Amino acid sequence: MEIELVRNGSDPLTYRGPGELWQDDDGVLSFKCFARSDGRVAIDSILDQAALEVGKLFPDEAYYSIKLTTFDNTILSAENVWIEPKYNLVTGHAIVSGKLPWLQHVYSKKRTSKAVPMRLLFLRQQRRDWRLFYGADIQLDSLGCSLKFTMLRDSDVLIEVIGDTAMPPNFETRVVEALRYVLAKVIHLSLIEISTVEGVDTTLMYPIHGTETRLLAPLSADKHSSDVHLLFARYLGFVLSNTSSEFVHPCSMYLRNACDASAGSTEAEVIVLSVAVEGLANLLPFEKMQTADQATIDVRDAMLKLLAELDPVDHVRNRIEGLLSQLNNVRAADRLQPLVRDGLLDPACLGAWKQLRHKTVHPNKSKLEGLDRDQMQALIDLVHRVYVCMYQITFALIGYRGAYSNYAAKRFPVGAYPLTVVLK
């Protein structure tokens, strides 16, 4: 095949020549180009590499776009590729190699009568994680499409988006967000195929291998697959309607951080889980009461007046003023009280979060290390109750009503949400 590499920016540097592309057993895409150039190009490239600053992010101009043309004129492409060139300064020729984060192929193809505008492929998955989606066909009425799940071979999952309407921008990212939520796993796409009237755009992704995590899913009971599908659809609709096309929803980021942290030490999980709950609470709408606001203002003004009379040294004054400024902020616990009042959040689980957060904010008072067996079990029980707190906040955010796994109770029974509903 013929390979062409062009540096980003207004002063492009080009490598062009025959080469090869391959994918190893782990799915990593690599290339090598035997470029024909001159000594000037080699020297310029060496000087550019030497100008990069240690400890600084590489500028966009340091990356390349790549186009690969096969023997049958099939064109593959990728952008923002980092290259590793080796030069022969006598001839000026170079051997340029690197790895590809993704590889894109666009070709013309007429649509079939049954439109499948998008296919998403997840490779090397754990079948037990996807058991509630075996053969699932989830209807998304708001988008005028459905998602069909198919298990391929022993560890691959194919999702077909079936419908005649155009998908929103970055729809595949939103689907991954919703799947990570209901599975409580950090999963990554392996292939995206998008069909339009002009043709088919296929993108092969660089594989990312995650570690085994301990975070429990919001609903893991085998007999409640329909509730899991509803939970997936509600979360997908939530992130689609509340996210700009370029970014991941903040709710998904907090949940992702909690999931990642569960793969590490208990201390790391406790810290990140506490932060995640507070972040989710701050996503809730909250209206301040005018009477409470005025009372806060009166107290703050009185304290500032007293502070002016005392006239302490600067560092003491600054610290006190910083503490008083916090009175203007709405605490996460205050935002969560309406959920408790309306039966949308278990007060015991909210109390567990406060207790867990206290351990992380004041480690000198309650260290996690050196716990005996009973203390460690008590900590694990506390973490499980905070799981429930975290998920019940998300239920309120996305408007979910249905079954959930109650990790706050023994043997993790299935409960009903809202808490005022009795599960049949």
82-108 pLDDT tens trace:
999 888 877 768 899 999 988 999 887
pTM of structure: 0.84
Round the average pLDDT of the chain to a whole number and report it: 86
The number of folded domains in the chain is 4
Asked if 308 and 376 sit in the same domain, the reply is: no
Asked if 275 and 301 sit in the same domain, the reply is: no
Share of the chain above pLDDT 70, in %: 90
pLDDT band at 311 (very low <50, low <70, confident <90, very high): confident
**Mean pLDDT lowest for which of 158-162, 221-225, 265-269, 317-321?**
317-321
pLDDT tens-place string over residues 370-417? 678 888 899 999 999 999 999 999 999 999 999 999 999 999 999 999
Asked if 201 and 275 sit in the same domain, the reply is: no
Q: Does a cis peptide bond (omega within 30 degrees of 0) precede residue 418?
A: yes
Asked if 66 and 131 sit in the same domain, the reply is: no
Residue 133 lies inside a defined structural domain of this protein: yes
Q: Which of 73, 100, 127 is the last residue of a domain?
A: 100
Q: Once rounded to an integer, what is the mean pLDDT over residues 185-192?
A: 92
Query: Between β-strands 64-69 and 29-35, what pairing exists: parallel, antiparallel or unpaired?
Result: unpaired
Quote the crossing angle between the two packed helices 332-341 and 347-361, to the nearest 10°: 170
Identify the three-state secondary structure at position 312.
Answer: coil
Residue type, 100: L
Identify the three-state secondary structure at position 25.
Answer: coil
Asked if 20 and 72 sit in the same domain, the reply is: yes
- Answer whether residue 300 shows pLDDT above 60: yes
Asked if 297 and 217 sit in the same domain, the reply is: no
152: which residues sit within 8 A by CB, 6+ positions away? 158
pLDDT band at 286 (very low <50, low <70, confident <90, very high): confident
Asked if 193 and 271 sit in the same domain, the reply is: no
Asked if 271 and 384 sit in the same domain, the reply is: yes
Asked if 69 and 218 sit in the same domain, the reply is: no
Asked if 318 and 341 sit in the same domain, the reply is: no
Q: Once rounded to an integer, what is the mean pLDDT over residues 106-119?
A: 70
Residue 387 lies inside a defined structural domain of this protein: yes
What's the CA gap between 122 and 124, in Å, rounded? 7
Residue 57 lies inside a defined structural domain of this protein: yes
Residue 390 lies inside a defined structural domain of this protein: yes
Predicted pLDDT of residue 118? 92
Residue 407 lies inside a defined structural domain of this protein: yes
Predicted pLDDT of residue 114? 56
Asked if 8 and 68 sit in the same domain, the reply is: yes
Residue 84 lies inside a defined structural domain of this protein: yes
**Mean pLDDT lowest for which of 56-65, 208-217, 314-323?**
314-323
CB 58 within 8 A of CB 23: no
Asked if 291 and 348 sit in the same domain, the reply is: no
Determine the longest span between alpha carbons in the chain, in angstroms: 85
Q: Give the residue numbers spanning the domain of 47.
A: 2-100
pLDDT band at 113 (very low <50, low <70, confident <90, very high): very low
HSE (side-chain half, CA atoms, 13 Å) at 333: 11
